[in-house]
Structure 1
């Protein structure tokens, strides 16, 4: 299926959305066809300053239906009240809670924009603590280097109407609260990726965060990680969340479905 469009699924398919009543807050988004022994853990975007699982529930439900996989959407603390490391701590707590019931080999992380950065930071934190990590991670249009010095901020300024160097500067200042942006749990593109699972990285060549994804992909691949990088031309930031409305979003989610199938494929004896 690589490189092809995924046929659009019915956006009104039966999907159950349940608030787990947990700390941190988690929504369980479960399509009717999804098994309970595997899951995606989703971290929303919003520059660490805004957003919630409820805000993104519609897009996540459509993508969950395409993947035929339940999604646990995590409501991490936002930087206006709780700067770093609160979001990473919440991501870790959510992962521990979910992995208590589901084998980590049947879990994959998924994040968009700042949520992609948080998913990547969680992988590094799990390795620091010696906690078994997930089967892989899907990082879409991810904010991965909060130094905000990438050339694509200037090069794609005219083509990215959603994110900008001004917004990145404001959001980074709120999240950092005086801490160095070079901390790998803040800027995971700068981290040591040795021994990490497969990374599925998708980014638009027209967005200001393009170079963040390219830097992470390059550093992770150099550390021996299986990186599946897809660069889409001319698409807006987090275009995947428009699924199934655009051809590019269908291609992006089609690739996600393919890769998720590989990650969760049963291991057979040879």
Structure 2
């Protein structure tokens, strides 16, 4: 199957969106015209592991890729409606292996939002298990990082989070786990060993139900010695950052992401 140009009418005109048919899992490569070809983000979309696709997120990803001057590989991992854990993680690993044959791991960073943020974090733990080269860092937007769903913020922020809820998380976790224990760090990365892991850049809002997942993951990773950059934004909806550039808060979030990427991939002397 050949590569197919999927450039969308509502995507920025200076971005090329290409379906990579040779990849082992569905992949979109989103390439701003001024992005270096030797550096990339690998994106894992949200949707509670139950829904979503690279195509659904292509416009948001294109706009953020343009702001950050980064090419992005967006991964179409299997959803829990087709296959439960570990299918999504297996697909994430297969995509990472394939992409790292083209872009060196030191020039790669993971990026995920909500369930995709949890999947990106789980992939870091899986790479360590397999003793494989890890990327330079990971950007986690409101990661769903604890499928035990016991965080206080599920209750405290229920009135202020219209996009995710404890009832939705309960159903989504049951589908994804399909009997697998939620205490496995590969589904609940807050329970993992983060020693020796690369930089984590975590963004979350103080009024969403996944606030505590994000804060706990950052705390656990930092306690293990990882370089963690946590930002808690006030009063924003779940994954508000994907709305870039439509709000002041989304522009602030993506400006921070762009600054961190520039620092992460700064030329060395």
Shared fold (TM-score, shorter chain, > 0.5) = yes
In the TM superposition, what are the counterparts of 1:170-181 in structure 2 within 5 Å? 170-181=171-182
Q: Is the 8 A contact 1:13 1:65 kept in 2?
A: no
The residue that corresponds to 2:5 in the other structure is none
Partner of 2:16: 16
Report the counterpart of residue 76 of structure 2 in structure 1: 75
Question: Which residue in 2 is equivalent to 1:7?
Answer: none
CA RMSD of aligned residues (A): 1.0
Whole-Å separation in 2 of the counterparts to 1:183 and 1:267: 38
Question: Aligned partners of 1:58, 1:11: CA distance in 2, in Å?
Answer: 5
Which residues in structure 2 correspond to 1:24-63 (within 5 Å)?
Answer: 24-63=25-64
Runs of 4+ in 1 over 6 A off after TM superposition: none
Q: Secondary structure at the match of 1:49?
A: coil
Equivalent position of 2:7 in the other structure:
none
Alignment correspondent of 1:187: 188
**Structure 2: segments with no counterpart, 5+ residues:** 1-9
**Residues 24 and 98, structure 2, Cα contact 8 Å, conserved in 1:** no
**Structure-1 residue corresponding to 2:159:** 158
Query: RCO higher in 1 or 2 (8 Å CA, sep ≥ 6)?
Result: 1
Distance in 2 of aligned mates of 1:54 and 1:80 = 18
Q: Deviations over 1:157-176 (max 9, x none)?
A: 00000000000000000000
Cα deviations by residue, 1:78-133 (Å, 9 ceiling, x for unpaired): 00110000000000000000001111111000000000000000000000000000
Secondary structure of 2:43's counterpart equals strand
Q: Do 2:12 and 2:62's aligned partners in 1 also have CA atoms closer than 8 Å? A: no
- Residue 129 of structure 1 aligns with which residue? 130
Per the alignment, residue 265 of structure 2 pairs with: 264
Q: Distance in 2 between matches of 1:84 and 1:189?
A: 17
Tell me the residue number matched to 1:234.
235
The equivalent residue for 2:140 is 139
- Look up the match of 1:4: none
Aligned to 2:198: 197
Once residues 175 and 28 of structure 2 are traced to their aligned partners in structure 1, the CA distance between those partners, rounded to angstroms, is 26
Q: CA deviation at 1:13?
A: 3.7
What displacement does 1:11 show? Answer: 6.5
Note the residue ranges of structure 1 that are not aligned, 5 or more in a row.
1-9
- Report Cα offsets for 1:217-261 as digits up to 9, x if no partner: 110000000000000010000000000000000000000000000
Is this contact kept in 2: 1:241–1:249, CA < 8 A? Answer: yes
* Native 8 Å contact 2:110 2:120 kept in 1: yes
Equivalent residue of 1:158, what SS? helix
